Amino acid sequence: MTPEARPVTTPAGARRAALLTPGAGLYSARVAWRHSLRFRLALTYSALSAALLMLITLGVVSLLLSRMEQQFVDRLNDRADTLAEAFTNLGGGFGQSATGPSAYTLVVDPDGQVIAASPALREFQNSPYPFGTLSRVPVQGTTVRAVKRKAGDFGTLWVGLPEDDLIAARQSALSALLLALVTAPLILLLTGWWVGRRALAGLENAANLADRLDPAVSLAPLPLPAREDEVQRLLVAINSLLGRIEAQQAREKQLLGQIVHELGAPLTVLKASLSRAEARLADPEVARAALVADELTFTTQDLMQLARGQLELKLAWHYIPAGTLRDRLDRLVPGTTFTGDWGTGILCDPDRLTQALRNLLANGRRHAGADGTVTLDLRETPEQLCFRVRDSGPGLPPELGEQIFEPFVSGAGSSGLGLSVARQIARMHGGDLSGTNHPDGGALFTLTLPGAALGDDGDDLDDADVLDEPPLTPVGGTGI
């Protein structure tokens, strides 16, 4: 079928509708990481913490390296001063501080000749001074830093100290810094994720509670957490909004009920008058007006059911022959073809079930046209009764999907209530209603009801009555 009026949904609107649909799983399905507030908070926390940690670590390492450098220089200068003092004051123990495997000393006379050397530099003794103005020189595979002092009348004292320990310490500090810069952001991100999960657990629970709300079923207030924080304020605001929505729905239902009530009496009089005029005059125009009055009567019944809501409706259970239901529908929607097993019995509310099936048949007749066919097939299994309504129309628009069962989603000039009311009635009976396109063309609606499963003593009927012809109250509805 081709709808004449239906909601236009943009991609953003579709996403918003999906998020606002009860049970759509805003938070029941895990939010993608790139859309997660928890991830953004953890990432921000990690980035800021990593930057701060990097600055602090750089400062600490720089201070540590400078202290190590200063200690090395002080040690070298202290050794040089001690040796120079020994050369200046020959009674000060000359040579005692210049021994050992790490002692690097040279005594250079004013002519530039090495006149004394420590054991590690014995190769340079009695030869020209080899290092010139260099302060760092390689000696036997070791980098040695050196300073010079005046050695009294002997000339110049050259004192060196190996930098191996200092270089190793510097490399260790830089390696630790690099490791910290690589691992710290990951550790901080994981820690931030865990902290964010704990901190936002209340907000996630509030979102899950709000996501499970179904305004069509209940608008009960959400439970408040014991802790007075932003989450509690959010839930208080949601509860306040729910209260306003519930009050607005009550006013709308009351207004709708009053409108339907005011229309009911005039429509009943009009319908009776047109029926008498049709019988007396046999005028096609009067017959057409009588059909319009019938359609308006059915529409008011659908509006009344919508105003009452599913929870306010009570089913009057009866066990009726399926043939009785078929006769009713044949009178309400002439031209329907009935197939299947109509010799069985049905445990139902006859008026409500007639209303649901009449809506499906009228919907099919509207879209099949005067020359089309509408078929109602009944099949029974031990578990359920299955009513299948098929028409020869163009079929259901695939882009509407389940929206065809929402109120006021309409096509072909109807009120858009028929399918919504029919599904509501089916579910009130413990069954369901679904719609699809038949492989051979046309729309196919399947309404299922639980099987009666009657025992020999009739106990399974509970309070239901077995009637051959229960009274028929006005029923009705329209298609999409």
* pLDDT in the model for residue 209: 73
Region of residue 25 (left: phi > 0; alpha: psi -120 to 50; beta: else): left
* Single residue among 292, 313, 334 that ends a domain in this structure: 313
Nearest C-alpha neighbor of 417 from the set 296, 255, 240: 296
Shared domain check, 215 and 284: yes
Are 271 and 373 within one domain?
Answer: no
CATH number (domain holding residue 443)? 3.30.565.10
Domain shared by 300 and 354, yes or no: no
Q: Answer yes or no: are the C-beta atoms of 445 and 270 closer than 8 Å.
A: no
The pLDDT score that the predictor gives to residue 464 is 46
Q: Are residues 339 and 309 in the same domain?
A: no
Angstrom distance (rounded) from CA 454 to CA 14: 46
Please report the pLDDT score of residue 268 as a whole number.
Answer: 78
Per residue in 60-104, pLDDT (tens digit) is: 888 888 888 898 889 888 888 888 888 777 654 444 444 444 568
Residue with tokens 């066990």: 319
CB 287 within 8 A of CB 316: no
412 in the same domain as 347? yes
pLDDT at 14 over 60: no
pTM of the model: 0.46
Q: Are 370 and 245 members of one domain? A: no
Residue 385: the pLDDT is 94
Identity of residue 154: F
Backbone Cα Rg of the chain: 47
Task: Take residue 284 and report the two structure tokens written for it.
Answer: 């096609």
232 lies in the same domain as 334: no
How far apart CA 159 and CA 182 sit, in angstroms, is: 41
Residues 275 and 391 in one domain: no
Per-residue pLDDT at 7: 40
In whole angstroms, what is the distance from residue 177 CA to residue 194 CA?
25
Considering 313, 346, 362, which residue would you say is the last residue of a domain?
313
Least confidently predicted of 121-130, 178-187, 388-397 = 178-187
Residues 258 and 364 in one domain: no
Q: 403-422 pLDDT, tens per residue?
A: 788 876 654 545 567 888 88
Residue 324 counted as domain residue: yes
Q: Which two tokens stand for residue 433?
A: 């209603």
Q: What is the mean pLDDT of the chain?
A: 76
Position 336: which residue type? Answer: T
Residue at which a domain ends, from 264, 292, 313: 313
pLDDT digits (tens, 9 = 90+) for 160-213: 888 888 888 888 888 887 887 788 778 877 877 777 777 777 777 777 777 777
- Residue 232, pLDDT score: 77
- Domain contains 47: no
Q: 417 is in which domain, residue-wise?
A: 314-466
Q: Judge contact between 216 and 89, C-beta under 8 A.
A: no
pLDDT at 55: 83
- The 3 state secondary structure assigned to 345-396 is EEEECHHHHHHHHHHHHHHHHHHHCCCCCEEEEEEECCCEEEEEEEECCCCC
Work out the average pLDDT over 129-137: 87
Q: Is the pLDDT of residue 454 over 50?
A: no
The winner for highest mean pLDDT among 13-17, 36-40, 315-319 is 315-319
Q: What CA–CA distance (Å, rounded) separates 101 from 97?
A: 11
- Check which CATH number belongs to the domain holding 289 and give it: 1.10.287
| Nearest in space to 428 (alpha carbons), one of 325, 329, 311, 253 | 311
457 shares its domain with 344: yes
How many independent structural domains does the chain possess? 2
Query: Measured between alpha carbons, how far is 478 from 301 in angstroms, rounded to an integer?
Result: 10
The Cα 267–Cα 260 span in angstroms is: 10
